């Protein structure tokens, strides 16, 4: 029963997390070769940061106890980001594991935290 309650409360977060797993772990041709201009802008790093930023924002809207559970979520998101990079390294579907992707993931989560806290502070000051 507790598991169903958890799954129901965080259904958007879990759904978006599944999307991240699919995008990061599915076989794909080298996008950077097709879109060569993206390499100079670090486009894939922005995508990683953006995905984890959105993940944090979704989670923060579903969390009933934001301040009590934010550390757990940041740690969990960090472990998930590291796990995806590890799986990319060992899986045979031609995905590259990069430490910079992992740092982009964490940057997205931390930026999401910053934005959410600023928004909540402004809202409480009103």
Q: Is residue 98, in this structure, part of any structural domain at all?
A: yes
Which structural domain range is residue 57 located in? 53-126
Q: Is residue 7, in this structure, part of any structural domain at all?
A: no
Place of tokens 């594991």: 97
Angstrom distance (rounded) from CA 98 to CA 75: 19
Q: Is residue 48, in this structure, part of any structural domain at all?
A: no
Q: What is the mean pLDDT of the chain?
A: 87
Report the predicted TM-score, pTM, of the whole model to 2 decimal places: 0.85
Stretch 12-39: mean pLDDT? 76
In eight-state DSSP terms, residue 94 is -
Q: Is residue 28, in this structure, part of any structural domain at all?
A: no
pLDDT top residue among 72 and 24: 72
């Amino acid at each position: 029963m507790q598991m169903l309650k958890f799954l129901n409360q965080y259904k958007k977060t879990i759904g978006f997390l599944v999307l991240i797993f699919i995008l990061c772990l599915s076989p794909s041709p080298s996008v950077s070769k097709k879109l060569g201009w993206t390499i100079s802008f670090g486009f894939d790093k922005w995508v990683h940061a953006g995905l984890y930023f959105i993940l944090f924002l979704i989670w923060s809207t579903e969390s009933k106890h934001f301040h009590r559970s934010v550390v757990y979520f940041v740690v969990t998101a960090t472990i998930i980001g590291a796990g995806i990079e590890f799986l990319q390294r060992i899986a045979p579907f031609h995905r590259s594991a990069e430490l910079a992707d992992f740092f982009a993931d964490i940057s997205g989560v931390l930026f999401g935290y910053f934005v959410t806290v600023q928004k909540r502070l402004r809202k409480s000051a009103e």
